[in-house]
A and B are shown apart, each in its own frame.
Chain A
Amino acid sequence: MQYALLAYEDIDATEARTDEEQSELLAGYGKVAQALAEQGKLVFGDGLRSSVVATTVRPGTDQAIVTDGPITEGREHLIGVFVIEATDLDEALNWAGQMPHAQTSGGVEIRPVGA
């Protein structure tokens, strides 16, 4: 199966992060991504820019309406997306548990890919 591992964190945490902390975070993800790639399980993985710079398109009467900001305004926002191959939820949980957002602050949501 394929699973999407979606990393979330506080918007304040994203905005307050120093360059040094940013490279530390990326190094943490780099380790997990490398392990996944070595086992041939990494489909895609990268971080996202802050939802502060997000743009949303929604249906309008004549044409789609473009607005500034994310779909859901909340305290926490999506900050990274991984798609991995795993045999079952337990394996996906194991990979998710190694991600920095499952270890320090924030959280990782696991969603099976494919409708």
Chain B
Amino acid sequence: MTIDDALFKQAWPRVYAAAVRSAGGDFAAGEDATAEAFERATRTWTHGRPDNPVGWLITTARRITIDERRKQATRNRTARRLSPDAEDDNSPASSITGDDVLDLFFTCAHPSLTPEAQVALTLRAVAGMRPAEIARAFHCSPSTMEKRLVRARRKIREAGISLRSPDRAELDDRLGPVMRSILLVFNEGYAPTAGDEAFRQELCDEAILLARSLHDMLPDQAEPAALLATLLLIDARKSARVDESGGLVPLRFQNRQRWNSTNIAEGVELTLGALNSPKRGDYTLQAAIGALHMEAPRHELTDWPQIAFLYEQRLEQFRTPSPTLVIAHSIAVAEAHGTCAARPLLYGLKPAEDVTAFLHHTALARFAEIDNDIEAALRNIAAAAAAAPTTADRTALDKWSTKLEKSRASPNT
């Protein structure tokens, strides 16, 4: 192949941004030109790549958009002159820096778009995923995903959303949706909300790549560094997280020898850097929690009081914290200070959704286990299994109850 995966990943967002820009901010036209430029490359690079393949692709995509705009103008017979943008667009391809991709990131996650559209556009424009692949990742039909993308591109064009990064003053607010999009991609890979797979590595890898490029472009910002750290630390557990039969292994039963020490080292270093920042954002706190988990040589040696404290700081940032966060905090408190302190934290929860019910019963089962109340633990495991989102979750719960039943049969082991 003349265009391998590495070149595609590196080139796609740069070509896309340049094409959108020379198409006057029109994402649909820019995307068509990008796809066409890659097709032309596959056709013409039969004797090897040009010296500067990314530059070649950018120049080609720009030429396509300019030709397209000329054709449009002639077709319309309105004698409307091409906008100065397009005519001045002879700047050398080498002037395209990483910042063009940063502009693309921020525009795809513009707060005026729905979170679903933000994620879909980011995966399409920055990661180069096809609509059908994105549809599979989010369990919707390709036509639904295509419609969502068409609608988002139309909104960008008609509402006048510029392809640009925010000013310094707006950066904090605007980084939120960008990072949330990346996290959503990772979560869907790490803990799919539906389906039979325990995780989907390709989505995790995609999210890590996106987080890494965001961090590379904004190296002095703590939160993007912390986001990358969080993803690396979670991803480091992947080979210990699933057993031979495909069931999930909870953190405390994982074989820590199998954790990826390179990822952990990089994640911890990034976390320490982020913690130096005067203002600790939520991603920094998450990274710090992740680092504490990963640095414990054994589960019993985990610094639970510190983790519970970090969860408290996370809770303070939200007016209405998510049930997931409330439950995670309660578990940390139970491990650190006992279940008497932890139980009241869950009183306000309304387990309306399945995922909340699943997490809630899993937490109550763990509390009962800590208190040696095996009957209550088994009851809650059964309730959690009934609400479990994936087969892998159910399998893990089954194993847990088997383990508890064995310990009940022979209490001294």
Contact = CB atoms under 8 A, between A and B. Distances in A.
Interface stretch (A22-30, A32-40, A89-97): A89-97
A87 interface: yes
A46 interface: no
B301 interface: no
Contacts of A110: 159
A110 to B, nearest CB: 8
Considering residues B112, B160, B166, which has the most beta carbons from chain A within 10 angstroms of its beta carbon? B160
Interface string A97-115: 0000000000000101000
B306 to A, nearest CB: 39
A90 B162 contact: yes
A1 interface: yes
A88 interface: yes
Interface string B138-181: 00000000000000000000111110101000000000000000
Nearest to A1: B160
The contact size tier of chain B is under 10
Nearest to B155: A89
B158 A87 contact: no
A94 to B, nearest CB: 9
B160 to A, nearest CB: 5
Interface string A1-18: 101000000000000000
Contacts of B159: 89, 110, 112
Contacts of A92: 160
B386 to A, nearest CB: 39
Contacts of A86: 160
B112 A87 contact: no
A88 B112 contact: no
Nearest to A111: B159
| Residue among B159, B161, B162, B164 with most chain A CB within 10 A | B159
B167 to A, nearest CB: 9
A91 to B, nearest CB: 9
Contacts of A1: 160
A87 B160 CA distance: 8
B162 A88 contact: yes
Interface centre among B162, B164, B166 (most CB of A within 10 A): B162
A106 to B, nearest CB: 18
B91 to A, nearest CB: 21
Nearest to A110: B159
Nearest to A115: B158
Interface in B211-237: none
Contacts of B112: 89, 93
Interface string B367-396: 000000000000000000000000000000
Interface of A: 1, 3, 86-90, 92-93, 110, 112
Closest 8 A-B residue pairs measured CB to CB? A88-B162, A89-B161, A1-B160, A88-B160, A89-B160, A89-B159, A112-B159, A112-B160
Given A89-B160, A89-B162, A92-B160, 5 more contacts: A88-B160, A88-B161, A89-B112, A89-B161, A90-B162
Interface of B: 110, 112, 158-162, 164, 166
24 contacts: A1-B160, A3-B160, A86-B160, A87-B162, A88-B160, A88-B161, A88-B162, A88-B164, A89-B110, A89-B112, A89-B159, A89-B160, A89-B161, A89-B162, A90-B161, A90-B162, A90-B164, A90-B166, A92-B160, A93-B112, A110-B159, A112-B158, A112-B159, A112-B160
